[in-house]
Structure 1
């Protein structure tokens, strides 16, 4: 993208949700950004306008999110990056997931409840987001680290206006568990910041300027590292809740390049994230389990076909059973991916599904998983694509703010099994192990048709990510909906192998009644499920479009050639 290329921005209010989404317009030869927050999308556009490509835009967006959506992601957390390079037609997967400290043990959460554990330093994993961004930049980036950080520094120093989604998140008790956090998120009268107020974050600006000037070493080995080690010793659960991360853990953190997972569905090639993410495996399993069935929404229903939803719930239950038993960090456990994704096995799984009958118990469910994650997707003018899902796990992570530096530490280690599962034939694939990564559900995804890239998307939402990404894939490839139409559909999310399923309030009551009549355990969710950020390209015309989810402050920006 050349400096000075015109930038189109237009936001339209969506009254029911009180959020914003940019106008989605087809246009040839353009760069498109879809992000969950307007200023984050602007930061990516800023990078493209200054000669950066999709990787530089992703770096700027991720740093900006630490300022404008700190409840969901930031340098105190981790991320998965899926990158498509147009010149070589290659897809790369980078795992910047948090890592358990060397002193961690399988039973460290055994006597703690989830809330106690997730709001104490023992839940904090070694952060990977910054190292991941740097690995991408060194491989493909055109801008300097300081340039990538500049929009975020400006936002933090000058202040941002509180958006609807951020205003809602600031009401969470997790935003004010620590005295420093309460000071950060309150105004001068001690009241929680609200919609439309300006939020200035000078300590975060200081941290980002340090990283821009000194580089990542200050974060992983210098003064910020020392501050993180001190901060994560905070606990709400006695000595057992103290964090175990050391300076050695931080100094030795490395992101990992992994081979992406691939699968075929309806003539398309689906490329997604491999373990330690379970999301990609589960989505590919569910798609292949459903492949023998003719799926698609019934005309006129507009809120989902009960038969399709029934079969999808059942396919997801089978995938969740495999997820609970087999998936974890591949460095810690043997994952039988070849078996789990084999056509023979998935054909057998498909034969277990019946159109009008729910399966009996499959396997026990899984442990809680945080929902505060974020997704963004970029395609640049050369056709390079980056799809990123990043997180601090629960809302505001552990709730532990690093004093003097203004960012929150993750609670990612609660994605491990809270109680050890190894034994009696169970490999304990996701038991806590030192220097290993907890299982995730994040699933940034790319879709190809005849070896041409056609779409990239993903979603936040913890375990619900799997259902959301699967449903988006079905809506696009089975129902042949436009992305905008797909984003407006009600969602449902299967949470475990037992079939506990959340549904959005907008799902038609008649559909809910039919599903319950088949024995499905449905709970109406009080919050929206997921927030898909989609970009795509027509294989015939090479025209590009973006679509952002109105469930958050979704924004699309296109840069005209």
Structure 2
């Protein structure tokens, strides 16, 4: 495919679009994007900007990410032409038990009850991941990365629709300490007012002065452990002190002549994306109209096939083998594609047998994961003047995480333990020091060895679906990047129910329903894609943000000293 045809279709005007020649920063909040762009303008590199954006998001979107979040950082070194992943995924504490989320009758505890006590809190990894990224690839210090967020936190942030929606839908998740901030005087924050979290400002100042050690070994670590244990958790100081952010090689595959680069397991989103792209390449999805029922059918059945295999085989590779080679083998993909017939929704979508295509790996003998819950996240990207690219998807897991705010320090704890299967006998069940499977999918796309696109999204199990459909809209339908993001998306698991966005044609929905799919009663936004497109020939970067949140891309067109 000629990438020039795609680039020629890109638009220069409109909201939540921007162009830059020296750099680009894009995120789900205006505050974080502007801070990232300011770092780039002043000569900072992509990692410097990305780190500053994570801290800024901890202030401006503190119900979706924060200091106790998990995440995956993906970094492209333009000089070395090499992509690296820094894994800051949360991990089960040493004393975690397989039966944490079942009752005395071995029945699964309802989600709201298992996702808000201290037992839902996993060892947070995002701070160590950014400390590692700064030390390996940054040009500025940890203290400099935090400085803009401290100023933002002192000034406060304007409460917007995302804050209001989160409070209206998920206020029951908030613990007493969190309610003091989000419901001052027992009244919810209102749109347009300025929210100032003085305790979070104080925490950021401690981290700036004392470094990441204060979070994993010092006074903040002690406060985290005290809060989690007080509410029934098993997190210990040694869990925090022993956590390490791993530096890993990415997974890579191709789609229509483009190279797709994603994190490797225990990240499951990267595998899911590569797997689905291979299925859709086999089925030549681009031959169908972008809003045809055939296109939606292909995506829906592809999601069902992928989900069945993901739930059966994705796990922490330090614990059990994953048949990755088999899952992505061309013959296995062709075998799985036979389930797609354009006549009906397959009633049962069981996992396949990729072990036939493996030589030295063995099945665990454990069951497939039985339950997969939604969550919220945030994604952000920075590109510098030298062509280095840094991106991160970070999360507290659910909106407001566990709902537990650390007293005196003003930040929420994650509920990442719910990324595990609550059942005790599956491949993704809880085990001590194990990583749960994550669907975060920060993605880089290359053409002929050169960067072409970087993108990602929040949305728990929907993340890979959002990234997949955006990629297809650009590569198969040659759409403008912002239009590709806004083109209505769908999501489904292995069952018949489809979540959908406004704009899906009624005729297409009717045809899908006739072949035994069901559409949710109302349309809702799925994900929040952030993306950057690279026009190397003209020396330009094109950023676009999803309208489901108020974020913006901010292009950099010259440095401060030029």
TM over 0.5: yes
Deviations 1:506-528 (A, max 9, x none): 32222111111111132145531
- Give how far 1:22 is off: 3.3
Any unmatched runs of 5+ in structure 1? 1-11, 14-20, 236-241, 422-427
- Give how far 1:370 is off: 3.5
1:117 touches 1:123 (CA, 8 Å); kept in 2? yes
Alignment counterpart, residue 376 of structure 2, candidates 372, 375, 381: 372
Deviations 1:173-202 (A, max 9, x none): 447632221111134x43111111011111
Match of 2:64 in 1: 72
Match of 2:192 in 1: 196
Aligned length: 525
Q: Secondary structure at the match of 1:45?
A: helix
Match of 1:4 in 2: none
User: Which structure features the higher share of helix residues?
Assistant: 2
Q: Secondary structure at the match of 2:397?
A: coil
Match of 1:63 in 2: 55
Q: Matches of residues 32-43 of structure 1 in structure 2 within 5 Å?
A: 32-43=24-35
Q: Tell me if 1:470 matches 2:475.
A: no
Q: 1:475 to 1:297 in 2, by over 3 A?
A: farther
Q: Secondary structure at the match of 2:85?
A: strand
- Give how far 1:290 is off: 1.6
Question: 2:299 and 2:513 mapped to 1: Cα distance?
Answer: 14
Question: 1:259 and 1:393 mapped to 2: Cα distance?
Answer: 24
1:174 touches 1:395 (CA, 8 Å); kept in 2? no
Match of 1:341 in 2: 328
Question: 1:453 and 1:94 mapped to 2: Cα distance?
Answer: 19
- Give how far 1:293 is off: 2.2
Deviations 1:78-108 (A, max 9, x none): 1111111111110111110001000011111
Q: Secondary structure at the match of 2:282?
A: coil
1:175 touches 1:396 (CA, 8 Å); kept in 2? no
Match of 1:397 in 2: 401
- Give how far 1:360 is off: 2.5
Q: Secondary structure at the match of 2:513?
A: helix
Question: 1:547 and 1:524 mapped to 2: Cα distance?
Answer: 29
Match of 2:413 in 1: 409
Q: Secondary structure at the match of 1:232?
A: helix
Match of 1:219 in 2: 215
1:372 touches 1:391 (CA, 8 Å); kept in 2? yes
Q: Tell me if 1:113 matches 2:117.
A: no
1:492 touches 1:529 (CA, 8 Å); kept in 2? yes
Match of 2:544 in 1: 547
Deviations 1:489-543 (A, max 9, x none): 111112x223432112332222111111111132145531000000111243332
Question: 2:235 and 2:436 mapped to 1: Cα distance?
Answer: 15
Question: 1:139 and 1:396 mapped to 2: Cα distance?
Answer: 31
Match of 2:359 in 1: none
Any unmatched runs of 5+ in structure 2? 1-12, 104-108, 351-367
Q: Matches of residues 260-409 of structure 1 in structure 2 within 5 Å?
A: 260-296=250-286, 304-363=291-350, 366-409=370-413
Deviations 1:129-153 (A, max 9, x none): 1000000000011111111111111
Q: Secondary structure at the match of 1:490?
A: coil
- Give how far 1:297 is off: 7.2
Q: 1:178 to 1:358 in 2, by over 3 A?
A: closer
Q: Matches of residues 139-150 of structure 1 in structure 2 within 5 Å?
A: 139-150=136-147
Alignment counterpart, residue 246 of structure 2, candidates 250, 253, 256: 256
- Give how far 1:420 is off: 1.7
Question: 1:193 and 1:297 mapped to 2: Cα distance?
Answer: 49
Match of 2:39 in 1: 47
1:175 touches 1:181 (CA, 8 Å); kept in 2? no
Q: 1:333 to 1:521 in 2, by over 3 A?
A: farther
Q: 1:122 to 1:471 in 2, by over 3 A?
A: same
Q: 1:55 to 1:499 in 2, by over 3 A?
A: farther
Question: 2:277 and 2:178 mapped to 1: Cα distance?
Answer: 43
2:541 touches 2:555 (CA, 8 Å); kept in 1? no
Question: 1:297 and 1:512 mapped to 2: Cα distance?
Answer: 19
Alpha-carbon RMSD? 1.8
